[in-house]
Amino acid sequence: MGLFDKFSKTFDKFGYDLDGYDKNGYDKKGYKNGYDEDGYNYKGYNKDGYNKNGFNNKGYDKNGYDNRGFSLDGIHLDTKINFDKDGYNKKGYNKDGFRKDGYNKNGYNKHGYNKKGYDKDGYDLDGYNKDGYNKDGFTIDGYDKNDYDRYGYDQNGYDIHGYDSDGYDNNGHNKDGYDRLGYDHLGYDKDGYNKDGYNKFNKNKTEVKND
């Protein structure tokens, strides 16, 4: 508070003098000499270093216990041992190493799964990873990342070379170029004759034999 304001009692319409203090010496943020009307600074601690809940910046009360009743060395106020009445230690773990939420320090429950449902190898209860593949590399539908099943066929029933389990492609021809009836895409069998028995020269086997 300025000297002039102290004697003149000059305050603005909000109740503050030219230096920004009210008639009781508090600034616009509500602090006087660094403390509010309840005796706490802007960090929430009083002159003795305790907050409104009675704990210092280390989390302990004036008797040396935290908000769960544990001392600095981990002894509980009520049980006099390293575990509280619910069976959890200062760090929040029970004797088996699990927190109240059921997970250990590594984030896994007693069944070995984390909160997202995956084990340490990255697989869920059904055996699939986050991408939907099992340990063998197949989805629940039975296909790998290249969309082939364990036998090497895609969803249309063709292998990587484009042939089905009987050895025919989507046009109905095998690796040698013949369909299920034994004819190529021009309609001739391996001997060169069509279904009517004629070759590309329009001759049947008898005519060819006599030539």
Domain range spanning residue 26?
21-62
Residue 210: the pLDDT is 75
Please indicate, yes or no, if residue 41 is contained in any of the structural domains. Answer: yes
The answer, yes or no, to whether residue 18 has pLDDT greater than 70, is yes
The answer, yes or no, to whether residue 211 has pLDDT greater than 50, is yes
Please indicate, yes or no, if residue 1 is contained in any of the structural domains. Answer: no
* 145-162: average pLDDT: 97
Digit-coded pLDDT (tens) for 157-208: 999 999 999 999 999 999 999 999 999 999 999 999 999 999 999 988 887 7
Residue 106: the pLDDT is 97
pTM of structure: 0.63
Please indicate, yes or no, if residue 44 is contained in any of the structural domains. Answer: yes
Please indicate, yes or no, if residue 36 is contained in any of the structural domains. Answer: yes
Give Dmax over CA atoms of the chain in angstroms: 140
Please indicate, yes or no, if residue 55 is contained in any of the structural domains. Answer: yes
* 9-29: average pLDDT: 91
The answer, yes or no, to whether residue 7 has pLDDT greater than 80, is no
Question: Measured between alpha carbons, how far is 107 from 34 in angstroms, rounded to an integer?
Answer: 43
The residue assigned the tokens 């309609």 is: 187
* 150-161: average pLDDT: 97
C-alpha distance from residue 72 to each of 28, 62, 146 (Å): 39, 12, 57
Question: Measured between alpha carbons, how far is 162 from 148 in angstroms, rounded to an integer?
Answer: 12
The answer, yes or no, to whether residue 56 has pLDDT greater than 90, is yes
The band of 1, judged by pLDDT with boundaries at 50, 70 and 90, is very low
Q: What total number of domains does the chain contain?
A: 1
The answer, yes or no, to whether residue 8 has pLDDT greater than 80, is no
Digit-coded pLDDT (tens) for 82-126: 999 999 999 999 999 999 999 999 999 999 999 999 999 999 999
Q: Report the SS3 class of residue 208.
A: helix
